[in-house]
Amino acid sequence: MALAIYSGLYPLPIRDEQLPNLMNTSELQFNVIYTPGTVRYLTPFISTLLRWSDCRYRMVANGCSDDECDLLRAITALDDRLELLIMPEKRMVPHGETLDFLHARTDSDWFCFMDSDILAVGPFLEDFQEDLQQAEVFSSCLPLWYNEDDITLPTSFRHMHGIHAYAENGATIACDYFVIYNNREFMKTREATGVGLKVIAWNELEAEHQEALEKMGLKKADYDSGKALTMLMADRGARVRYRQSDNLKHIGGFTEVGAIEGALLFSRGGFDKLANSFPRPIARWLIGLADIWYVRKHLWQKGPTQNSIEEDYNLASRIRRRTTTARYFYLLIIGLVDDQPLPTLPLLGDAIAEQRIAIVTNDIADLVKGVRTSPGPWQDQ
């Protein structure tokens, strides 16, 4: 067993089986960032990554309390593929700035990072063999709450967000939840452009880089973490790939909107409550109408945004699905860990996404059950 605190839950990972004719995946080190309020609830996920891969993992404490750092120390001490890095600032550093800090402390051939609310249920690297062979930038792990309309960024939208894996013009722009960069190509582009991994606005880019992005048909008001750098790498010839894997499950939003002490399930008001009172087939239709209603209400009260109405609708739907899912899983894990009442499966307005959530609910319940019956420092919390 890779982690003693989860002994009896999983067998010892097989570390000697390397994927044929590929990079040596045992040399990959993923940076996994933990933020305040998440350490106790998300650290069990690391055991699934250890079981189903031969990679190494750097567990990063970003603004975490002393108790949370102590728990991370105890966990990383139990497996030689784990390492701890505590960010030097007491505050929680913005995500993109944290990634830049971590990259500056990476001297390997690949720079990798993934969200801390991702768990593995199978050998996920096998799903990426061909892409890892070919790409200088590889990404995966859309959140459980995504739908097909989220993946491709329409030309008319002003903002390039983390969930966008493709552009409407056919370009692969890579989601930013699970990413593997060729470090040499990363450094070449970064040194040439001065662009890093933090969120960046159009007016913060130099004119020549604006021109490059505009020629690619990717002029946007702003770019989420790593997006502008990835596109400038592509402009210089880097191959960018995206592929989803059924063996990786990503909650999405847990660290930002899920882990709120005393959190309740998401509701914007009476229309949402009305929708949730109906059977699911009707409720799914009503919740879509609610998105339109709340956007219109906001526009009436605050005035028009610079976005198209389609972008405002899409963003409202994503915020609702993201927040609903994240708060559901926060309450679920608290309930499983602390013997509290468990929440009911959330209404997202998308039957496929709701099915994904139901499946992962069972995966997490099994995981937490195994953790709770195993000795180790996690139990001391």
Helix ranges (H only) for the chain are: 39-42, 45-52, 66-76, 95-103, 129-134, 148-151, 183-193, 207-215, 227-235, 270-276, 280-302, 309-338, 351-372
pLDDT tops 50 at residue 9: no
More confident residue, 258 or 330: 330
Under the banding of pLDDT at 50, 70 and 90, the label for residue 102 is very high
* Residues in Cβ contact with 83 at an 8 Å cutoff, skipping those fewer than 6 apart: 29, 56, 57, 58, 59, 76
Specify the higher pLDDT residue, 10 or 223. Answer: 223
Pairwise CA distance, residues 70 & 73, whole Å: 5
CA pair distance 271, 276, nearest whole angstrom: 9
Closest CA to 43 of 3, 96, 90: 3
Q: Identify the CA nearest to 320 among candidates 343, 342, 352, 353.
A: 353
Q: Cβ distance 106 to 190 under 8 Å? A: no
Q: What pLDDT was estimated at residue 22?
A: 56
Answer whether residue 273 shows pLDDT above 70: yes
Residues of the chain with CATH 3.90.550.10: 13-250
Q: Is the pLDDT of residue 117 over 70?
A: yes
Answer yes or no: are the C-beta atoms of 379 and 71 closer than 8 Å.
no
How do residues 180-195 score in pLDDT, each as one tens digit?
A: 999 999 999 999 999 9
Distance CA 199, CA 205 (A): 11
Which tokens in the block code for residue 324?
Answer: 């609903």
Element containing residue 152 per DSSP (H, E)? strand 152-153
* Residue 293 pLDDT level (bands cut at 50, 70, 90): confident
Mean pLDDT of the 272-280 span: 78
Contacts of 76 (CB under 8 A, 6+ apart): 59, 82, 83, 84
Q: What is the helix (H) or strand (E) element at residue 179, kind and residue range?
A: strand 178-182
Q: What is the mean pLDDT of residues 300-318?
A: 82
pLDDT of residue 211: 97
Contacts of 1 (CB under 8 A, 6+ apart): 7, 8, 9, 10, 11, 12
The mean pLDDT of the chain is 88
Residue 17's pLDDT is what? 43
In sequence order, what DSSP letters do the residues of 228-279 get, joined into one string? HHHHHHHHTT--EEE---TTEEE--SIIIII--TT------SHHHHHHHTS-
Q: How far is the CA of 111 from the CAs of 100, 241, 290, in angstroms?
A: 11, 15, 41
User: What's the pLDDT at 154?
Assistant: 95
13-250 CATH choice from 3.90.550.10, 2.60.40.10, 3.50.80.10, 3.40.50.150:
3.90.550.10
Structure tokens at 294: 């709340």
Strands 118-120 and 248-250: antiparallel
- Kindly report, residue by residue over 18-51, the tens digit of the pLDDT: 434 457 899 999 999 999 989 999 999 999 999 9
Helices 351-372 and 45-52 cross at an angle (nearest 10°) of 90
* Contact (CB, 8 A) for 349 and 324: no
Which pLDDT band, with edges at 50, 70 and 90, does 2 fall under?
very low
Q: Is residue 11 predicted with pLDDT exceeding 60?
A: no
Give the number of other CB atoms < 10 A from CB of residue 22: 14
Cα separations (Å) of 264 from 35, 151, 237, 337, 346? 20, 28, 47, 17, 12
Q: What is the pLDDT of residue 377?
A: 67
Q: List b or e across 120-150, with b for residues whose CB sees 16 or more CB atoms inside 10 angstroms.
A: bbebbbebbeebbeebbbbbbbbbbbbeeeb
Average pLDDT over residues 214-236: 96
- Give the least confident one: 220-224, 274-278, 356-360: 274-278
Q: Determine contact, residues 55/30, Cβ cutoff 8 Å.
A: yes
pLDDT at 16: 40
Region of poorest pLDDT, from 96-100, 141-145, 284-288, 322-326:
284-288
pLDDT of 316 over the 70 cut: yes
